Amino acid sequence: MSKTLPVQKNDYIDVVFEDLTHDGAGVAKVDGYPLFVPNGLPGEKAKIKVTKANKGYGFGRLVEMYEKSPYRVEAPCPIYKECGGCQLQHLSYEGQLKAKEKQVRDVLTRIGKLENVKVHPVLGMKDPWRYRNKAQVPVGEQEGGLIGGFYQQRTHSIINMKECIIQQEKNDEVVQIVIEICSKYGIRAYDEGRNKGDLRHIMARHGLVTGEVMVVLITRKNDFPHKNKIIEEITSRIPGIQSIVQNINPKKTNVIFGDETRVLWGEEVIYDFIGDIKFAISARSFYQVNPEQTKVLYDKALEYADLSGKEKVIDAYCGIGTISLFLAQKAKKVFGVEIVPEAIEDAKRNAELNGISNAEFAVGEAEVVIPKWYDEGNTADVLVVDPPRKGCDEALLQTIIAMKPKKVVYVSCNPGTLARDLRILEDGGYETVEVQPVDMFPQTMHVEAVTKLELKL
């Protein structure tokens, strides 16, 4: 006989929230059965209505709040509840940093079985707003004109948005000017259902240090009406504009970029700095969206690598060479690996741009290239990994264990896969010395962490 659930759909129950999910919902438990409720914060007491009761967990909505968290604040964004881009504006910044530290500690204990590892308080921002240097805005139509905004949660309806308070103000201004200009010339927004229209997305990139601006128009077809007039107006109205690029995506898909990118005006790239290192950023470059905190993150990675100038370093998942170039300033030699060929081209260009000659870059999967290097006798004193959300591939982890670099620096954007991988490395002869979480994305549940591991003697 199947076990009866402790709650049923449409039940009204009183709960105390214990935790937050990875997307910022409050977690309450009834006889051990978890309920996920948007807008609930740990420590709060509330009445909720159960909206869904699955076998292992359920969902609810807040009906009445009895006791509020001392960290609860009024979200400053007028479309916060509809938008879904941020999850934590209703939690004070102090509360956000505590929640993220707890998230890292909890998964290290639960998944990694690492109970005595030193986890430092999260390194946050002095001003946790207006930090994003790239805006990617879908375009729609309303009352005969174009609008730009973000998709409403779990829908493809665009919420008209004049400003986003986690975007740099410059990008908000650029997007609004481009929308006005395109509206003026009768450009039609892309209609996903009918696969018709011209303009799909507008992207704006802004060099925080240099002030340089790039506009990317993502269109359905090669040609679009009044192209030359639109380019002329964009260049006359946007200060700092260096580059106008068109990306063509003819497919009926919600993937933003198509395969073809062309420069319509100006340069192919804009430039920016992280610390002393200069980076060329193209329309499709992966470049950290919060350069201020990227510097904090990489400084910590460099500190944990503890380089004297004699070491050979491998940087797995090197992207456009951001960490590699920081490491190269202190290492004897750095080898970077990345699966995306365009990123490796960017990495080589960025090394040249900075006069760095002791960094080499290879295209390929880290879990294929690094074992091959090891088989050929190429080892490293320090190995740095900065994998995607899914974490390191098993083959790479086993190669690290076989290669035995003295230190491993693990930069992670997903505490869950970090904890899983640390467990494997610990079982393979490494000791997790310390973990430093860094808040790269204030107002969201995302947290990055830099971990220092040393080979046990």
User: Quick one: what percent of the chain has pLDDT higher than 90?
Assistant: 88
Return the exposure string of 153-166: e unless at least 16 CB atoms fall within 10 Å of the residue's CB, then b: eeeeebbebeebbb
pLDDT digits (tens, 9 = 90+) for 411-456: 999 999 999 999 999 999 999 999 999 999 999 999 999 999 999 9
Catalytic-residue membership of 413: yes
Range scoring the smallest mean pLDDT among 152-161, 251-260, 344-353, 399-408:
152-161
Asked if pLDDT for residue 124 goes beyond 70, the answer is yes
Question: Global pTM?
Answer: 0.93
Q: List the domains of the chain with CATH numbers.
A: 12-69 (2.40.50.140), 98-126+290-455 (3.40.50.150), 134-274 (2.40.50.1070)
Helices (H), 77-224: 80-83, 93-110, 169-184
Distance from first CA to last CA of the chain, Å, rounded?
A: 54
Residues 31 and 3 sit within 8 Å (Cβ to Cβ) = no
d(CA 223, CA 433): 56
| Mean pLDDT score, 385-390 | 95
Task: Name the catalytic one among 77, 83, 182, 413.
Answer: 413
Tokens of 159: 């919420």
2 pLDDT band, cuts 50/70/90, is very low
- Give me the pLDDT at residue 209, please: 95
| Mean pLDDT score, 318-344 | 95
